[in-house]
Structure 1
Amino acid sequence: MTGRMKHIVCAMSGGVDSSVAALLLKSRGFRVTGLFMRNWDALDETGVCTADKDEEDVQFVCDKLNIPFHHVNFVKEYWHDVFSEMLRQYQGGVTPNPDILCNKFIKFDRLLQYSRETLGADALATGHYARTDAGEQILEDGWHSKQHSVKLLQAADSVKDQTFFLSQISQHALQRTLFPIGDLTKAVVKEMAARAGLQRIVKRKESMGICFIGTRKFNNFIQEYVEPRSGNFVSLEDNRVVGKHKGQFLYTVGQKAKISGMKEKWYIVDKNPLSNEVIVAPNTNHPALFCEAMFTSPVHWIHEAPRQLLQDQMLDCDFRFQNTDPLVRCTLTLSSMGSVIVSLSRPLRAITPGQYAVFYLGEECLGGAIILKPGPSLHVLNRKNYKTEELRIPTAQQES
């Protein structure tokens, strides 16, 4: 690497992963600035703003590493780009993924822009468990003028891999981002933090779930923003009303439905936001909960659309729609306007509209798309009475 010392802004949350990312960058001779991003100011149910504690921990790490500390407030941007969109999707009867939305619109858009334009950074670094095929080459003088395209690769630690949450990152952002811990395991990351005197950070409880909800129950939280509207639980088997619910947005496909007065357990199969009905079926392994195909929005390809898909209209690759789920072999069939039909090698339970279908080819994360509609369930196929419109991909107008 030639020329002046490169300036890297490291996005820091107060956790061990981003702390070690900053530690590694400094040890490699970069000029590092720690940047804390505040997205949410509300108090949790204990009356504590957890962002304050997180910011204190980032300040502690920056002092330990002797690097500048900076903070930025994106509360308004987060509300507009992520939270409002999340509420809109819940009201529309689907289940969104706010973590993917945050990465797409805030961390790898607003934060990257702020880091480069306001703080003068050459690149942004994060504590994500992910890798690229470019690595630190993006910092070489003249690299960007050659118009390189970067691939997003899975992390060395397959258990902690976070490429699922990065599946909507833009090529522009990926060409200006470093993932310093992508080649490390979680155990090694904790060991490095402890050796650097960051035991306080190592002992921190790892954050799980949606950041702005904190310790609150999701149903209590979401009802502060979406007005409940009661409706019927309707049996898939015989269209019988089997109970009442307080709002279809409180439920997601595959979840157990707590229906009073019923001896057997019922599970959410589908939702109808127009009639406000929640369709349920008995038994957690009911065939209606399983399907082998789905239809997506236009796919966001991180690197570029695979040549084989463009040439043959079909591509064999791997799929997941939950970050912790094992990869499943699938075939993509190119459909209208860049959307795809995903045919799975085996049935999966609770394919959920609004969630992301993320595709992999070897160690590369190709990108992903929003699941618009699962294909006919095994229950429907077994009855052999599905209609052709059930196989129709929704139009953009229907999506909205």
Structure 2
Amino acid sequence: MINGWKTVVCGISGGVDSAVAAILLRKTGYNVLGLYMRNWDIADENGFCAAETDFEDAQYTCDKLKIPLHQVNFVKEYWNNVFSSFLQDYQKGLTPNPDILCNRHIKFDAFLKHALGKLGADAIATGHYARVGRGPENLRRSQPDPRVKLLSSVDSVKDQTFFLSQISQESLQKSLFPIGNLPKKEVREIACSHGLEKIARKKESMGICFIGSRNFSSFIKEYVVPCPGNFVDVETGKIVGQHQGIHFWTLGQRTNLGGHSYAYFVAEINPNNQDIIVAPGTHHAALFRDSFITDKPHWIHSEPEFNEGVATVNFRFQHIHPLVTCHIQRSNDNKYTVTLEKPLRAICPGQYAVFYKDEECLGSAKILTVNPSYWRQNKQNPIDPTKDFL
């Protein structure tokens, strides 16, 4: 056990990952308490509330494992710190990532404070695919460094460090990720061996938690007033269609405009006049950029080494994308310019640039603006769509 910790509160979601996290904690010798979070209350269009089913599965899991299950309501905190920001960004033509904000403000802040303050825990644990690096170098220090690193999970396909890239150092020091050293297949096997076949067979939750299985367009129109605008061809400047609001669209998205011999894809969004600039073809040069501006990065352990004002690290802005080498340069206005060694398709303002060095997730920064596309710079698209992964 770590640091003499005895009691660990494990977030129990009703899924297999958190269930196995609890199993492994108990096997290690911790006194384990389960905690189910309720962050959203509204049912989907069919009147089905996934939260009720998830809570039943969480209770089933804890009953099987013979650990107590507590419940906490963070609906207000979620609305104020995650959902309100989500809506504001969409109204500005940005593409937010609420999962990153949820981990930062809810799971590793409100949840942590509740576990330590109300339930008397020494630490928390979740079923995230990630690892905490406490470091053998501490054994050689006369004054051990309490800081820890966020490391990628052994299962690279399931790795979730992307979504954890904004959590604080203080929160990470009090966190455990028991399944971070396991592949998903083994996680399911462990669940089945402990009588949790029902949970192991459960379909994984996908997408944004408060949208669930609903269609995104039908969901977002409940909260954002439609503001019609035009689709404008990037090459000709001509209007090629109309839309009901920029909040329905994101860069790189196919528009399905009829009456054309080719498909149009969103290349630029202008919140000032509601115009959406579209490009013919999914590999058009207007969809590719190799640099963008971010706010000041949040470094989890410590910032990378800057040589002559530039740090070279790896980067991704979607968790399923392969890492790309980038160069980060500080500006005088507390903003940073990120330049990529090869252009990427549909880099979206509002998303997070997540930075890595080897297996360590260094942290992330919100993308504020993207620099001109290859089309605007009169450059040819260097990507060969038959060879390169985009």
> Cα gap change, 1:370/1:253 in structure 2, threshold over 3 Å: closer, same or farther?
same
Cα-to-partner distance string for 1:164-200 (whole Å, 9 max, x where unaligned): 0000010110011000001110011001001011001
When normalised by structure 1's length, the TM-score is: 0.91
After TM superposition, the structure 1 stretch with the greater mean CA deviation from structure 2, 221-230 or 259-268, is: 259-268
2:100 aligned partner, one-letter code: I
1:223 aligned partner, one-letter code: K
Identify the residue that residue 369 of structure 1 maps to in structure 2: 365
Q: Distance in 2 between matches of 1:219 and 1:301?
A: 34
SS state at 1:232 partner: strand
2:274 aligned partner, one-letter code: N
SS state at 1:244 partner: strand
Mapped contact 2:5–2:122 kept (Cα < 8 A): no
Identify the residue that residue 161 of structure 1 maps to in structure 2: 159
Identify the residue that residue 31 of structure 2 maps to in structure 1: 31
Q: Distance in 1 between matches of 2:326 and 2:298?
A: 17
Identify the residue that residue 298 of structure 2 maps to in structure 1: 300
Identify the residue that residue 328 of structure 2 maps to in structure 1: 332
User: What pairs up with 1:1-400 in 2 under 5 angstroms?
Assistant: 6-134=6-134, 148-306=146-304, 308-309=305-306, 311-382=307-378
Q: Distance in 1 between matches of 2:332 and 2:351?
A: 20
Q: Note the C-alpha offset of 1:259.
A: 1.8
2:258 aligned partner, one-letter code: S
Mapped contact 2:130–2:161 kept (Cα < 8 A): yes
Mapped contact 2:300–2:363 kept (Cα < 8 A): yes
Identify the residue that residue 391 of structure 1 maps to in structure 2: none
1:346 aligned partner, one-letter code: K
CA RMSD of aligned residues (A): 2.0
1:264 aligned partner, one-letter code: Y
Identify the residue that residue 398 of structure 1 maps to in structure 2: none
Q: Note the C-alpha offset of 1:336.
A: 3.1
Mapped contact 2:285–2:379 kept (Cα < 8 A): no
When normalised by structure 2's length, the TM-score is: 0.93
Q: Distance in 2 between matches of 1:126 and 1:284?
A: 38
Cα-to-partner distance string for 1:133-179 (whole Å, 9 max, x where unaligned): 128999xxxxxx96611111110111110000000010110011000
Mapped contact 1:5–1:31 kept (Cα < 8 A): no
Q: Note the C-alpha offset of 1:263.
A: 2.9
SS state at 1:379 partner: coil
Q: Distance in 2 between matches of 1:135 and 1:61?
A: 33
Q: Distance in 2 between matches of 1:345 and 1:153?
A: 24
Mapped contact 2:10–2:35 kept (Cα < 8 A): yes
Query: More helix by proportion, 1 or 2?
Result: 1
SS state at 1:268 partner: strand
Cα-to-partner distance string for 1:292-311 (whole Å, 9 max, x where unaligned): 111111111111112x22x5
> Cα gap change, 1:179/1:383 in structure 2, threshold over 3 Å: closer, same or farther?
closer
After TM superposition, the structure 1 stretch with the greater mean CA deviation from structure 2, 37-46 or 255-264, is: 255-264
Cα-to-partner distance string for 1:76-121 (whole Å, 9 max, x where unaligned): 1111111111000000110100100100111111000000000011
> Cα gap change, 1:136/1:249 in structure 2, threshold over 3 Å: closer, same or farther?
farther
Q: Note the C-alpha offset of 1:215.
A: 1.4
Q: Distance in 2 between matches of 1:381 and 1:45?
A: 45
Identify the residue that residue 386 of structure 2 maps to in structure 1: none
* Number of residue-to-residue matches in the alignment: 377
Q: Distance in 1 between matches of 2:81 and 2:369?
A: 24
Q: Note the C-alpha offset of 1:130.
A: 0.4
After TM superposition, the structure 1 stretch with the greater mean CA deviation from structure 2, 369-378 or 91-100, is: 369-378
Mapped contact 1:316–1:332 kept (Cα < 8 A): yes
Mapped contact 2:100–2:165 kept (Cα < 8 A): yes
Mapped contact 1:136–1:178 kept (Cα < 8 A): no
> Cα gap change, 1:267/1:28 in structure 2, threshold over 3 Å: closer, same or farther?
same
Q: Distance in 2 between matches of 1:230 and 1:354?
A: 21
1:134 aligned partner, one-letter code: R
Q: Distance in 2 between matches of 1:19 and 1:108?
A: 18
Gaps in structure 2 of 5+ consecutive residues: 381-390
